[in-house]
Amino acid sequence: MKLSLTDKVLIRPAREGDLQGVLRVEYESFKDPYPLDLLRHLLASNPLSFLVSEVDGKIVGYIIGTVRWLNIGHILAIAVDPKYRRRGIGTMLMKAVMDYFEKRAVRKVRLEARESNVVARRFYSSLGFSEVGRVPYYYSDGETAIVFEREL
């Protein structure tokens, strides 16, 4: 029996040594990537909900979640290396962070996506998120963010 890629994916909490790999995925995924110092801060602030996906020792994706106001989960970022997309890794990362949120009695999860990022918007909708608002000029280039929410 041949193993699928998702059989080889390890999802685990990020470590300091993973940040260069996360940064590489950031730069390959976004036109306004998070700088390394911000990634370090987010890792220190969210050590159990800053998760990476690893295939054969290589970081191929990550997700950063945080809990606000004790019961609101917020997904700050998610990205998968372009060479590994559309293979279930993003879904695995989302499931892992949602499991983390559920264990902490989170009632609602929210996230933002670029209005122009139709692929991401479809992905979030397929996971049960609904578009609930817009934030004009959210991104550094002035683009509007679409706000998504999902009840847990």
Give dist(CA 65, CA 57) in Å, integer: 23
Instruction: Return per-residue pLDDT of the chain as tens, 152 residues.
Output: 344 666 699 999 999 999 999 999 999 999 889 999 999 999 999 999 999 999 999 999 999 999 998 899 999 999 999 999 999 999 999 999 999 999 999 999 999 999 999 999 999 999 999 999 999 999 999 999 999 999 99
Record the tokens describing residue 48, joined without a space.
């159990």
The reported pLDDT for the residue numbered 5 is 62
DSSP 31: S
23's CB contacts (< 8 A; 6+ apart) are 33, 34, 36, 39
Residue among 94, 5, 9 nearest 59 (CA): 9
How many other C-beta atoms are found inside a 10 Å radius of the C-beta of residue 122? Answer: 11
pTM here is: 0.92
Give dist(CA 101, CA 115) in Å, integer: 26
* Helices (H), ranges, the chain: 19-29, 36-45, 89-103, 118-126
